[in-house]
């Protein structure tokens, strides 16, 4: 299963991408996380439904200092996971 998440709130400048990277890696998910130009955080993750459920709960909570106001979720085509590798942060310096 492949899911796309878009997280809004106080999610930039609070370590959100690093938090997601760590948690998703521990869940053995493939995919990526990145900031958007609109101040949101975008996540694409592939894995088993149980692990994706765990990730969803983690994203709703966020790291300390963050505030999640909205979590949008979409199911992507299974073919999308063919391009996904070990979970990574995109656009990190």
- Residues designated catalytic: 17, 35
d(CA 52, CA 59): 10
Residue 49 DSSP SS3: helix
Q: 47-74 burial, b for 16+ CB within 10 Å, e for fewer?
A: beeebbebbbebbeebbeebebeebeee
């Amino acid at each position: 299963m492949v899911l796309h998440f878009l997280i809004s709130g106080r999610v930039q400048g609070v370590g959100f991408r690093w938090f997601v990277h760590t948690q998703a890696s521990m869940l053995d998910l493939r995919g990526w996380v990145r900031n958007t130009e609109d101040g949101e955080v975008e996540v694409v993750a592939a894995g088993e439904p149980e692990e994706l459920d765990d990730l969803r709960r983690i994203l709703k909570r966020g790291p300390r200092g963050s505030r999640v106001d909205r979590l949008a979720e979409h199911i992507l085509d299974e073919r999308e996971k063919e391009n996904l590798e070990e979970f990574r942060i995109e656009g990190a310096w």
